[in-house]
Structures are given as C-alpha cells and as structure tokens.
Structure 1
Amino acid sequence: MFQPDSECLPEAQLRALQLQRLQAMLERQWAQVPAYRARFEAAGVTPGDLRRLEDLRHFPFTRKSDLRDHYPLGLCAAPRASLRRIHASSGTSGKPTVVAYDDHDLNIFAEVVARSLYAAGARPGMTFHNAYGYGLFTGGLGTHAGAERLGLCTVPVSGGATERQLDLLLDLQPDVIACTPSYALVLAEGLARRGVRPGDLQLRYAVLGAEPWAEKTRQAVQERLHVQATNIYGLSEIIGPGVSNEDVREQSGSYIWEDHFYPEIVHPDTGEVLPDGEWGVLVLSSMTRSALPLLRYWTGDITRLLPGDNTTGRSVRRMAAIQGRSDDLIILRGVNVYPTQLEAVLLRLGQISPHYHVTLTRTGLLDDLTLQLECDVPSAALRDEVQRQVKAQVGVTIRCELCAPGTLPRSEGGKLRRVTDLRGER
C-alpha cells in the first residue's frame, strides 16, 4: 500500500498515465479557471494541443506572483463550498500565497506523505515526533495526516518550545522525528547539554525538509541524534511536504511521486526544458489536485532529475539535493554563490559549528560578504583558514567573523533565514 504499483510502472506506462492526467488537468483549468483560460489563449494554446508530453513546453508557467495576483482563491477550480482546508504562506513580501484543498486533495496529501514516510523508514506502529509547525504552514498538518495514514502514533509537538521538545523525546522515546535540518541540530545541542549521548534515545529515523541542506549536515544530524536522515521535499503551492522523499536505504536523491506530480527542469533564464541530468529550475504540475491544480509551477529550486534505482524497484525519477533557489542566488562580484555552498565548506572543517549567517553589504561599487560562524575557540588561524577554503572551493573572497557558541540565530522549527542583504540600504 505504501509503495504502490504506480511507483514501479514501466516507463512507457508511467508516461502514458502522466499524459492522460495532464490532459484532464488542462481541461479542468480551461473550463473552470478563467485566469488559466486567458493565459492559454494569450499563449495560443488549448488543452487539445497537448498530444504528447513534449507539447507541455508550449504552455505557460505558473509563478508565485500569479497566486498573489489572483488572491485569495482566483486560481481555484472547485466551488468554495467544496473546500475543506486553507493554507497560506507567511506573506513576507506582499500578500500571502493562499492554497486550497478539497476532500480529494486532502486524501492525496495524506497518501503522498505516507509514501514519503515509508520510504524514510517509518513503519506502522512506530511513534512519530512531529516538530513541523502547525497552522497555516503546510508542514505540521500535512505530515500529521500522512503519519496517521501510515499507522504511526503521532505526537503533534509543532515547532518551538525546545525544552519541552527535549522532555518529550526523552519521555516518549519516539522512533521517528520530522523537522527542519537546522532544528534537528538545535535539538541535538540541547540533548548534549543535558548529558544525553547519541544512541541513548530510541530515535531511528529523521525526516528533514523545508530548507536546503548539505550532505555534511546529514552526517552531523546522524552522528548527533544516532538516526538515519532522509530529505522530504514539497511546497504548499503543489501540495505541501510529500512531493518527493529519499529512500532510507540509499539516501541518494528524492523519489518524485510522478503519478501525482509531473516534473520538468528548465533553464533559469530562458525557461527552455532541459534533459534529465542537467541542472536547472524545477517546474512541477500538480496533475491530480482538484481544488487548486497548478500547471508548470516555477518552484525556483535548483536541482536535476536522475533515473530511478533498481534496488528499490521504483521507476519514478529522483531529484538531486536542492543546490539553492534561483531567487536565493548571491551574485558576488560576478560569481554565483548559494548559501548551501558556504555551509558545505564550514561542515568540512570539523571543529566548526554548522550554525552560520551571511550578511551582504556594499562599499562603493563593490559587494562584500561577511560570514559569521560559531566556534569554541576563536583564533586568527581558524578565521584565515575559513576564508582560504571559501576562496578555494567557492571562488569568492569573503570576510569571516568568529562568534561564541549559541550567539547566532537558531531555528525554532520553521525555516531559518541564513542571509541578510543590506546592499540596497544606505
């Protein structure tokens, strides 16, 4: 049930299913969403023009701005009376992004999260510590429903209140935890302060997502919490967490549940569809959603598509670890830099904490990057080594500041803001 036949279809059958579901999605948008019909007409296409999967490239992208332009529910394809849940982004820039679910969508949401948790190692009867935030953010309620669908005993802890989280981890001894990777490290620090050693807990699996993270972060989480950690990927516009997940046996790329979500990789500047294996922006179509089916949604996440792995029996494709977001790209004196590249450098230097912050400033016409990081024993030699390693591995000159442990911002269960850009301020 939790690794269904649709994950293992021969490629020709999977592509035929995707074409059928995309065609039905386009018909629904044409008939029931005036904004999509207008977009199709402006692009000179109709649903009947999708005869092959390759024809999808002729249809327009959907972007976050489209959801804001049609705020709150202008892209819905279902009547208001049939909606059963509303989620929304935090709205840090302009109006929030509102997404709607009907009964059908909530059923799919629970199904794909259950499949993701199963791939992560969770099994019916285990106890699940859910430290994703509940509320308008999709993480908490989404993973909760999937965990219950899988048959887990779910502890709805939500985010924050770290000391209470630590008490529950010690008292309830869950098998599985879900949270952001940065918060997993916060919990590991808290346990260490209490004298809890790796392996003292019953925890076996960590399902981490909602922010990009490096392979060295995985290693740090696994060593400090004594778990096997996998990446769960999703975004509220498509459905929430559960679009894809790594298999715990491989930990090598997240399987996309392609029977529900059709992936494309496109060039970040031109929008040209790129072949599997090339890096670009991930674009997703939510083929089976009924309340809010989005066509070719521009996620902004930089990744690439990889083939399935015969060891799991899955034929659906995997997505590589997110390299960064196209809108999080730092262009520093002509060099492209993603925060995850800096994180990878820091984690290679074993004596340095994975907690860091980046501040961008401008002196005259030149941009400057200050990298703040924590370490137990600050020294000029260590500072110089960080600057040298970043220059050698990333290709940019930075200024490094060493801070005392515990002084940089910590995640409280939500996404952690790693970059402050002051270049536009005077």
Structure 2
Amino acid sequence: MIYDVDLETLPREDLEALQLSRLKSLVGRVHANVGFYRQKFDEMGVKPSDIRSLSDLKLLPFTEKQDLRNHYPFGLFAVPKENVVRIHASSGTTGKSTVVGYTHRDVRNWARLMARCFVASGASALDIIHNAYGYGLFTGGLGAHYGAEELGAIIVPVSGGGTKRQVMLLKDFGPTVICSTPSYALVLHEAALEAGVRIKDLPLRIGIFGAEPWTEEMRRDIEEKMGITAIDIYGLSEIMGPGVGIECCVAQKGLHIMEDHFLVEIIDPDTLEVLPPGEVGELVITTLTKEAQPLIRYRTRDITKLDITPCRCGRTFARVHRMMGRSDDMLIIRGVNVFPSQIESILLETEGVAPHYLLVVKREGNLDTLEVQVEVDEKLFSDEIKNLQRTELKIVKNIKDYLGVTAQVKLVEPRSIQRSEGKAKRILDLRKQA
C-alpha cells in the first residue's frame, strides 16, 4: 500500500511542474517576509521573477546552519509569531541552538509525511509502534509520534533512556515496529539478552532507524540479531525533522525523498557546483511547503548521491544513497579523508568484533594519528593472545588497504565503550586540546 498514491507515483514531468509552482511561491514569500533572504537576493542581484524553471534554483543563495544561529531565535520566521504553534531546537555541539518553528499546516504536513514513511517501511494502522526517539526539543520523538497517530497505529511514547524498562515493555506490550537510533537498537539487544529476553522471539518485525550514520554492515548485524527488517529514515531538524526521506521495504535501496515537499540537489562541497545524478557530493534541500521557517538551498553537510530512476515499489520520488558521512565530521589523517562510516564497514566485516567503537585522533609532534578502539565479543576476548593480535593486525591491514591510512587498533573488552541512548559518540578528537 502507498499512502499518498497519487502524489508518490507522479510522472516526473508532473512532479517537476508541481515543484516549480511551489518554488516560485516560496521565493516570493521569503523575499517579502524574511529580511535575511531579501538581503541575500539583493546582494546577488536576484528577483523572485527570475525563477522561471527548476534549473534557476542555482541562482539562489545557499543557507547554512550558522545562518540559523546568527538569527537566533526567531529571525528566519516567515510568518508572525502568533501563527507559530510549535518550536523545536537542535542543541548542536557548538554555538547557539538552531531553532525551527512550525505552523498548524507545517505540523499537519509533517504528520502526513511521517505516516507515508511508516507505510513505506511496511507498517500499517494495525501495528504497535515503540518510539524510543527522544521527546522534547529534539524532533525525533514527536515527529514519529504524530506520524504514527496519523497512520492510525498504536504508539508507545517511551522516549529515550530507561533501557531495562524498555526491554520489559518490548516483552509485555509486544510492539511490532521500533523507532530508535541504530546504535541504541543494539544497546536494547544487549540489555534484552542480559534480562534473558530474545528480541528475535518477540512480535517485533520492523525497525526504523535514523539520527546517526550507519552502514549496510550494521544493518545486517541488527537484522540478524533482532530478527527484524531494518529501515533507514532520514531527516534533520532544520528542514522538518524525521520524514524527509525513507527507504521502502520493497527495495531497501535508497531513501525516497518526499519531493513534493522538498527540492533536493547534490553539490560539490568545494566548488558548490551542482552535480548530476549518480555523482557523490553534499545534499542540499529547499523546503517547498514550510510556512513558519522555509529554507532555501540548505546545506545539510550530508554526503550522498542522487538516483532519479523509478523504484520497483512504484514510487517515482528521487532516492538518495544511504548517507556516507558528513562533510563537516570528515577526519583528515595525514591528508587522507576518512569518514567514521568507512571504518565501521571494515570493523563489522571482521569476525569477533562488536559494533561498538571509538575513533581517537591525536597529534604527535606535527603528525596526526588515528587509534581505533573496538570491542571484541566474549568468545574472542577469552581467546588466546595470539588470536587477539591476529585480529588487530587484520583490521590495521584492512584500514590501510581500503582507506590508505595507517591506524593503530586497540581491541577492548566487551561493554567497555560507553553506550549512548541517543546518537552514538564515535569520535574523540584530542587535537583540539593539544
């Protein structure tokens, strides 16, 4: 079943006509109502009437996260505050929060898009959805919550934390769908085993995982351990929250972007030139229907590629490849670009290691060094020293062969790397403290 069948299967020509109509309306609104954009347009010599085709999008300015911080808290609102009914904020790691506002229509659209996502994942109104995304200013919890209610499913708003209690609820309530970060799903799996519960034996059948990068190897690990179908979902607070894109359960080959609401581009993050489908670059999103806080050409910093071929599920919306990393959390080790997800792929292909790791970057003299700390499973931990050493050397060799960088590898005992109930902390960069 497709939730919005008429929209999700629009012929490309009709979809692009709808996008152009909405883009023209958007440009007029932000020029009239948002001083930041009006100034940007004027500086670039662009008028709303200059947008005559989708290709004219390249005439418009980019928006970056720092722009939201510079206009904290409400400087990018395109409607009066009395029209805003919801505010979310992303804490971020540096500087002020990025604040996002929503009108009634924005919240309604968000709920419908999340309902679409649930249907694409294989869920329906007959499901019980265990929502372990955090509630509050973070968009994950309430985004999934409203989408589940729009779908007509039962929602269990457990939020993050309280892992032992979550295991009990998974056992007692029998949910069939779980929403969480992929790393927290593995935390729940470990906690369930400690409590004598096999998640594989529970009714759970679908996991909808997002909010952090993860790999195909981690997907296979989760699916095998938990006995579920693991679906990748994409969103970001600045654009809306979860529900910008999701994999379908039919193909599980790329995230369907909700293109009637979001116009996507892939750019070269260095030259800022637009790249054709199939080329790897940074994802840029323009919100076509947001009322309270529309954004034009928002640089997500997420690295991916675009596929506009129709999917065998019947949806015609463009797909983006699973996020390969971020242009702003990329590590540069002695001139080599390294993404944590690349290291993760190598680790998860190594027998005897667990999907919990920490990348420690240091500066020794004038050289950067990378240490990969990774947990081993119980069997390998209790094995002979020579087998542990053999595993370390294998990982060192694979990292060197695949990524061209020399890393130190440190195998650590099971459950020694700190767990997170939200986004997993994968990088400890000590260069900033040197």
The normalised TM-score by structure 1 is 0.98
1:273 deviation in Å? 0.4
1:3 deviation in Å? 3.4
Q: Which runs of 5+ in 1 are unaligned?
A: none
Aligned to 1:276: 277
Which digits, 9 at most, give the CA deviation of each residue in 1:16-50, with x for residues without a partner? 11011011000000111111100110111011111
CA distance in 2, matches of 1:91, 1:348: 31
Aligned to 2:391: 382
Q: Secondary structure at the match of 1:16?
A: helix
Give the alignment of 1:90-101 within 5 angstroms: 90-101=91-102
2:219–2:230 CA contact under 8 A, matched in 1: yes
1:324–1:340 CA contact under 8 A, matched in 2: yes
Aligned to 1:305: 306
Q: Secondary structure at the match of 2:361?
A: strand
Q: Give 1:217's aligned amino acid.
A: M
Aligned to 2:385: none
CA distance in 1, matches of 2:101, 2:199: 41
Which digits, 9 at most, give the CA deviation of each residue in 1:258-294, with x for residues without a partner? 0000000000101100001100000000100000110
Tell me: CA distance 1:424–1:192, structure 2 relative to 1, closer, same or farther (3 Å): same
CA distance in 2, matches of 1:28, 1:272: 26
Aligned to 1:419: 427
Q: How well do the aligned residues superpose, as a CA RMSD in angstroms?
A: 1.0
Which digits, 9 at most, give the CA deviation of each residue in 1:34-85, with x for residues without a partner? 1110011011101111111111111100000000111101010011011111
1:157 deviation in Å? 0.4
Aligned length in residues = 425
Aligned to 1:357: 358
Aligned to 1:160: 161
CA distance in 1, matches of 2:107, 2:395: 47
Aligned to 1:316: 317
Aligned to 1:147: 148
Give the alignment of 1:13-24 within 5 angstroms: 13-24=14-25
1:417 deviation in Å? 1.6
Q: Secondary structure at the match of 1:199?
A: helix
CA distance in 2, matches of 1:44, 1:421: 42
Matched, 1:121 2:122: yes
Matched, 1:399 2:408: yes
Q: Secondary structure at the match of 2:292?
A: coil
Aligned to 1:200: 201
2:129–2:176 CA contact under 8 A, matched in 1: yes
1:111–1:146 CA contact under 8 A, matched in 2: yes
Matched, 1:104 2:105: yes
1:255–1:308 CA contact under 8 A, matched in 2: no
CA distance in 2, matches of 1:350, 1:300: 32
Q: Secondary structure at the match of 1:292?
A: coil
Tell me: CA distance 1:12–1:136, structure 2 relative to 1, closer, same or farther (3 Å): same
1:198 deviation in Å? 4.8
1:362–1:368 CA contact under 8 A, matched in 2: yes
Aligned to 2:236: 235
Matched, 1:87 2:88: yes
1:382 deviation in Å? 1.3
Q: Give 2:18's aligned amino acid.
A: L
Q: Which runs of 5+ in 2 are unaligned?
A: 382-387
- Which stretch of the first structure deviates more once superposed, 116-125 or 195-204? 195-204
Which digits, 9 at most, give the CA deviation of each residue in 1:128-173, with x for residues without a partner? 0000000000000011000110011000000111001000000001
Q: Give 2:172's aligned amino acid.
A: D
1:199 deviation in Å? 2.7
- Which stretch of the first structure deviates more once superposed, 140-149 or 197-206? 197-206
Tell me: CA distance 1:255–1:310, structure 2 relative to 1, closer, same or farther (3 Å): closer
The normalised TM-score by structure 2 is 0.96
Tell me: CA distance 1:308–1:118, structure 2 relative to 1, closer, same or farther (3 Å): farther
Q: Give 1:138's aligned amino acid.
A: T
2:251–2:311 CA contact under 8 A, matched in 1: no
1:198–1:223 CA contact under 8 A, matched in 2: no
Aligned to 1:51: 52
Q: Identity of counterpart residues, as a percentage?
A: 49
Matched, 1:72 2:73: yes
2:208–2:230 CA contact under 8 A, matched in 1: yes
Tell me: CA distance 1:401–1:310, structure 2 relative to 1, closer, same or farther (3 Å): closer
1:246–1:255 CA contact under 8 A, matched in 2: yes
CA distance in 2, matches of 1:384, 1:321: 29
CA distance in 2, matches of 1:339, 1:95: 25
Aligned to 2:338: 337
